[in-house]
Amino acid sequence: MRTQVVIVGAGPAGLLLSHLLGREGIDSVLLERQTAEYVQSRIRAGILEAGTVRLLREAGLGDRLAVEGMEHRGIYLQWPENRHHVDFVDLVGRSVTVYGQTEVTKDLMAAREKAGRPAYYSASDVTLHDVTGSPYVTFVDSDGAARRIDADVVVGCDGFHGPSRAAIPAPQVWERTYPFAWLGVLADVAPSADELIYAWHPDGFALHSMRSPRVSRFYLQVAPDEDVARWSDDRIWTALAERLGVAGWTLRTGPITEKSVLPMRSFVATPMRYGNLYLAGDAAHIVPPTGAKGLNLAVADVALLATALTASLKHGQDELAAQYSETALRRVWRCTHFSWWMTSMLHRHGDDFDARLQLAQLHRTVTSEAAAKELADNYAGLPL
C-alpha cells in the first residue's frame, strides 16, 4: 500500500490530523496498537481551550460539542476559608468548555468512518523505516498478516511508549517527576459547583471537576505509590469534603464508578521533526494535568502540522514543515511552564516555608488583575 501520510496512533491527535488532512485532499492511513473500542473508552482530559473548540467547530466536528459541551467562564481558586472566582471572560475574553476526551474521540471516529479513511486497529510490531529518505512502516495487522505502507511522511501520534520517538537517534530529553500523584475519582453525582474548584489544603491538593450535568470528576493529592485499595468510598468523600469545604457550601456525594492513581510528571523531547518523521502530542511531550494542557497541546501540534503538511504536500512549500519543531516547541515550553506553575502552587510539598510561599502566590493571583490575567490567558489557551 502507498499513501501520502502514515499516522501512527489513532487517539484524538492522530484522528484529528487525519481529518484535517482529509479536508485538504491529502490521503492518510492510521495505525493503532489498541482496539477501536479501547481507544474510544479511554477517560482522559475534559477541558477544551477556546482555540480547541473553535478548531473543532471549523473542522465540522462541533455538532455534539455544541449540545453537550458545558462552557465555563473560569475557575475557583481556594485555600482554607477562602474561595475566589477567576473569571476568564472578564479578564481575557475567552472561556473554556467541559467536554471529555472520550467524546472528542467518538466524534473523530465517527467522522473517519463516514469519510471512509483507512485505519488498522490492533496493529502489532509497528516499525518505522528510512524516515530520512523514503519512509515506510511495517506492521502485523489484526488478522496476523504482515503489511507494509510506503508514504511521503510519517507522523508519530503514538504517545510516550510508541515506536515513533524511538526512531529518532539520540533525542534531547528534559524530564521532571513530581513527588505526588492524583487519586482520580469518577462519580455518578451532579456537580456541586458551577465551575472547577482548585483547592490548596494542608492535607494536599483537591480538584472538583465535572464530565456532564450528572457526572462529577474529583482528584486528591496522594503519594506516587498510593494503593487505590486503601481508599474506600467513605474515605474519599471524607477527604474531599475536608479539602474542598468552605462555609455555606455542601459537597454532593453519590456512587463512585472509577478510581485510579495518576502519576505527575513533565517531559519534553526534541526535535519534533527528524527527516520525514514528525512527532505530535504525548509522543513528544507530557505535562501534569493541573493546567488542563495535555489534550489541548496535542491539538495545537496537529493544527500546526496539518497546515505545514498541506503547504508541503499540496503546494511544494516546505518552509512551515522545516519550522515545525521550533514553532511547536515554543508553545510546548510555555504550556510546560504554566502546568509546572499551577502544580507547584497548589500541591502541598516541602516544609511550612514552602506552604507560606504557596499561599502568598494564591493571594497574589486572586487580588492582582495582572496576575489573574496571566493565569486566565494561559488556562483559556493561547491562540492556535
Catalytic residue among 76, 99, 324, 379: 379
For residue 379, indicate whether it is catalytic.
yes
Domain ranges in the chain are 5-73+96-174+265-344, 175-264+350-380
Cis preceding-peptide flag for 271 (omega within 30 of 0) = yes
State the average pLDDT over residues 228-244. Answer: 97
Catalytic residue among 19, 289, 324, 347: 289
pLDDT at res. 44? 67
pTM of the predicted structure, to 2 decimals: 0.94
Contact indicator for 112, 15 with CB cutoff of 8 Å: yes
For residue 293, indicate whether it is catalytic.
yes
Could you give the CA distance from residue 226 to residue 213 in angstroms, rounded to a whole number? 30
DSSP codes, 184-209: EEEESS--SSSSEEEE--TT--EEEE
pLDDT tens digits along 148-182: 999 999 999 999 999 999 999 999 999 999 999 99
- Fold topology of 5-73+96-174+265-344: FAD/NAD(P)-binding domain (3.50.50)
Multiple choice CATH, 175-264+350-380, 1.10.10.10, 2.40.170.20, 3.40.50.2000, 3.30.9.10: 3.30.9.10
CA-based nearest residue to 183, from 216, 201, 206? 206
The SS3 assignment for 49 reads coil
In the chain, % of residues over pLDDT 70 = 99
pLDDT at res. 43? 66
* pLDDT range class, residue 253, cuts 50, 70, 90: very high
State the average pLDDT over residues 366-383. Answer: 97
| C-alpha distances out from residue 67 to 98, 105, 262, 324, Å | 12, 16, 30, 34
DSSP 2: B
pLDDT tens digits along 295-310: 999 999 999 999 999 9
For residue 99, indicate whether it is catalytic.
no
For residue 219, indicate whether it is catalytic.
no
Could you give the CA distance from residue 251 to residue 206 in angstroms, rounded to a whole number? 13
The contacts of residue 3 (CB under 8 Å, 6+ apart) are 27, 28, 29, 118, 149, 150, 151
Mean pLDDT of the chain: 96
Catalytic residue among 72, 201, 285, 347: 72
Catalytic residue among 201, 285, 293, 347: 293
For residue 274, indicate whether it is catalytic.
no
Catalytic residue among 198, 219, 278, 324: 198
The SS3 assignment for 20 reads helix
